[in-house]
Chains A and B, each alone.
Chain A
Amino acid sequence: MPFRKPDDEGARPTDVTETLVARGTAGAVAVAWDADQAVTALYSANYRSLVRLAAMLVRDAGTAEEVVQDAFVAMHGGWRRLRDPDKALSYLRQSVVNRSRSVLRHRAVVEKYAPKGLPDAPSAEAGAIGELERSAVVKALHKLPNRQREALVLRYYADLSEAEIAHAMGISRGAVKSHTARGMAALRNVLEQFS
């Protein structure tokens, strides 16, 4: 899994980042240098997973990349305020979630006043069963409210715990449970078809 189990390639850059952050507290001169290096390390370890997470939320790969890049830039700007190295990825994740919300909010306003376009054409592999499952589930997922979708994506794609989801979404753990349960209840009809 991208976030929780970086067994193959995620372990090394994470350690590097931690050491970089630990060295970043040594001096003011090294802070700027470590910010660049930490961005590089976090990029190599988590950029793809963060982009995919954002893509799950905003349903657009290009916008997801912009969201994640903005999150990296913001993290670089606030690097001196990051004391705990473990907070770097958490900060990025929270920033991605918040920025995805902003994108969706802006998109909702734009789509409200923009003319309706043609529906997306089915892809070439639309006939495959996995694709049916994927498209059906994702379509149903995107019909959910934003908070429920965020909770489900963070829970079942990013494999975060309830505490981590609560921190990323800025809500309580009880609210996370509520959003997750309601989202799963809404998706139950679709999910039962493929279970």
Chain B
Amino acid sequence: MTTDPHEEHGEVLRRALNAEADTVIPSVDGLDQIRARIEQRRQRRFGWAWFTAGWARPILAVGAAVAIAGVGVSAPQTFNLISPAGNKGPSADQHHQPGDGSVEGQQGRPDGTQPGSPPGSSPSGSVSPSQSPVTISSSPSPSCTAAPAKHDGGSPSKTTTAPSPGATVPGTAGQPCPTPSTPTTPPTTPPPTDKPSDKPTENPGDPTPSVTPSAGSSASSETKSDSGTSTTP
């Protein structure tokens, strides 16, 4: 057969290879070394080294940046959620209008439609964006939506047409809720209410003109006269 010389050479090669292989004596602790490497691999994969690996550092940095940005973005909303509850206590004592922005915004809107009422916020444009997130945060009072009829009836929105459409929707939602409480709480309101009591009584349950005089006694008459002029047409 043709394989005979091939197999003959193969036997020589096999003999030489086996002789060469017999000279190789593996170490005795090979299994221990394998187990040590397996343990190393486990620790490298699941241990602390996984977090300190070079490729993981950029991922951790990006993740930390995203987390910080998320906290920063959500912080104002969180503060606004917390601030109405926290500021209602001290505001109820003395600072009725300037105390908390939320109550001020809610009351200041009907009064704020009159130019003198928002004491803290000079331009009406600056007030409206500050109020809009507050009203959103104070949205848990959906029962107050019935009030817009009063606000429309008050018709101060005619004077400030630009801020009112944008802010009246959230602002009106929060208006009536404080308004029933506001005429009761401020002691300053009764004196002005005596004079314009006739006019508000024409529109029963409209405490908004009674609040506006509270900002200033001298200005209240002017504002009421303005409001009266505005309401009369």
Contacts and interface: CB of A to CB of B under 8 A. Distances in A.
A joins B in a complex: yes
Interface of A: 2, 36, 39-40, 43-44, 47-48, 51-53, 55-56, 61, 64-65, 68-70, 72-73, 76-77, 130-131, 133-134, 136-138, 141, 152-153, 155-157, 184, 187-188, 191-192, 194-195
Contacts of A65: 26-27, 30, 33
B39 to A, nearest CB: 10
B59 interface: no
Contacts of A56: 17, 20-21
Interface in B1-30: 6, 8-22, 24-27, 30
Contact of B19 (A48, A134, A184, A195): A134
Nearest to A69: B34
Given A69-B33, A138-B16, A195-B8, A39 B24 contact: no
A39 B34 contact: yes
B158 interface: no
B17 A43 contact: no
A2 B10 CA distance: 17
Task: Name the residue among B10, B17, B38 with the largest chain A CB count within 10 angstroms.
Answer: B17
Interface residues of B, number: 28
Contacts of B12: 133, 137, 191, 194-195
B31 interface: yes
A131 B23 CA distance: 11
A126 to B, nearest CB: 13
Given A51-B24, A73-B41, A187 B13 contact: yes
Given A43-B30, A138-B20, A153-B17, A77 B9 contact: no
Contacts of A191: 9, 12-13
Interface of B: 6, 8-22, 24-27, 30-31, 33-35, 37-38, 41
A91 to B, nearest CB: 15
Contacts of A153: 17
29 contacts: A2-B21, A43-B31, A43-B34, A51-B26, A55-B24, A56-B17, A56-B21, A61-B24, A61-B25, A61-B26, A68-B26, A70-B37, A72-B34, A73-B34, A76-B38, A77-B38, A130-B19, A131-B19, A133-B19, A137-B13, A137-B16, A137-B17, A153-B17, A156-B14, A157-B17, A184-B6, A187-B9, A191-B13, A195-B9
Nearest to B6: A184
A77 B41 contact: yes
Contacts of A156: 10, 13-14, 17
Contacts of B25: 61
Contacts of B22: 52
B21 A52 contact: yes
Nearest to A60: B24
B33 A133 contact: no
